[in-house]
Amino acid sequence: MTHTADSTSIPVGTTLSVKVPATTANLGPGFDTLGLALSLYDELEVEVREEPGIHVNVLGVGEGVVPTDETNLVARALAHVFERFGQPVPGLEIVAHNAIPHSRGLGSSGAAIVAGIMAAKGLLEGIVDIGSIELLELATELEGHPDNVAPALFGGLTIAWVGEDGPKHKKLIAHRGVSAVVFVPEAAMSTALARSLQPASVPHEDAIFNVSRSALLVAALIQSPELLLAATEDRLHQSYRASAMLETDELIRMLREHGLAAVVSGAGPSVLVLGNDPSQRLLAADLVAANSVSTWQPLMLAVDFKGATVMVHPVEGSA
């Protein structure tokens, strides 16, 4: 439920910090539905200043590349929330500490959108009460679909869907035996290009195949991780996109031949391996190092259970 109080200015000098996890979507068969939050984070430091406008200082990933003015995705998401609730955007200085690789299938755009929305939520505290339903609606409006923004917002394993009254999600807690390693290549991949390779329709038997595997995957992730290899089989999207990222496809095939649950992370080209114990991550890393001529950066990550957080630091003496 959203409640809007009388418009009041946000005190100059107010600061807040935001932390948003990376995400991996699809997880094989759960195309545009399943997502998982991972322990790799983009962080913001935000300060209200007297000068109008938004300036973003980008450090880490994207430094010197992404915009630093109001066209920055974080700034656009933040302004979108203020506009939605009829509030004037204060002058802001934002420092973005980015660790999530861009255009690699780890939800960097979703994380930026969620970071901006969470910053707006923190700044509007006491002026507008923004609940979880509104957070997901706002993020989905900007991202276009909820499969990445849901785990970024809420953490854990999420099932996301869009009903007649908007986007919805269900958060689940992954089994403690589930461990993840992501292999990140040097080359990027356009999500729009990846989506353009999808056919308008798929064979009936492939749809049935993916329904069964998606149901099995939820069970594997929350209860029976020993079933992850079978549960991550897919016929809806990975094979169609393989031509655009041949090395990703080859790596997945090799890892799966060795009994590891390897899939494309999001739209790619990173490769996600879901292990049923931590030793499988080390096995995967050894196999990639021994069998791939390309450079893949292995990221040993845990499942993030908290999702996005915001901490407000009011000006001393302010109400």
Q: Which residue ranges make up the annotated binding site?
A: 101-111
* Cα 67–Cα 70–Cα 76 angle in degrees, nearest 5: 100
Q: 83 with 93: CB under 8 angstroms?
A: no
Q: Where is the binding site for ATP, in residues?
A: 101-111
Q: Which two tokens stand for residue 216?
A: 């099995």
Cα 262 to the center of its chain, rounded Å: 18
What does the alpha-carbon distance between residue 21 and residue 174 come to, in Å, rounded to a whole number? 16
The H or E element that residue 114 is part of is helix 108-123
Nearest partner of 305 among 32, 37, 58, judged by Cα: 37
Calculate Rg over the CA atoms of the chain: 20
Under DSSP, is residue 136 helix (H, G, I), strand (E, B) or coil? helix
